Amino acid sequence: MPQMAPIGWLSLFIIFSITFMIFNMMNYFIYSPILPKSNMSNKMYLIHSINWKW
């Protein structure tokens, strides 16, 4: 059974690398996180939680 030429392995590696980078870039730029809306009750809770009563 003949072995694959080194140029074949190189082209497969380049194609895989380009596909992998495109896939990762698409996943990175498509993701949009849902930011929590700030409520007044959350701000009051944060203000009160900072003050420690020793």
- Mean pLDDT of residues grouped by 10 in the chain (54 residues)? 71 95 93 70 54 63
Residue 47: per-residue pLDDT: 55
- Tell me the C-alpha to C-alpha distance, in Å, between residue 22 and each of 13, 26, 31: 14, 6, 14
Residue 39: per-residue pLDDT: 56
Residue 1: per-residue pLDDT: 42
Cα(40)–Cα(47) distance, integer angstroms = 11
Residue 3: per-residue pLDDT: 66
- Tell me the C-alpha to C-alpha distance, in Å, between residue 28 and each of 20, 25, 32: 12, 5, 9
Size of the chain in residues: 54
Which residues 6+ apart lie within 8 Å of 51 measured at CB? Answer: none
Residue 23: per-residue pLDDT: 96
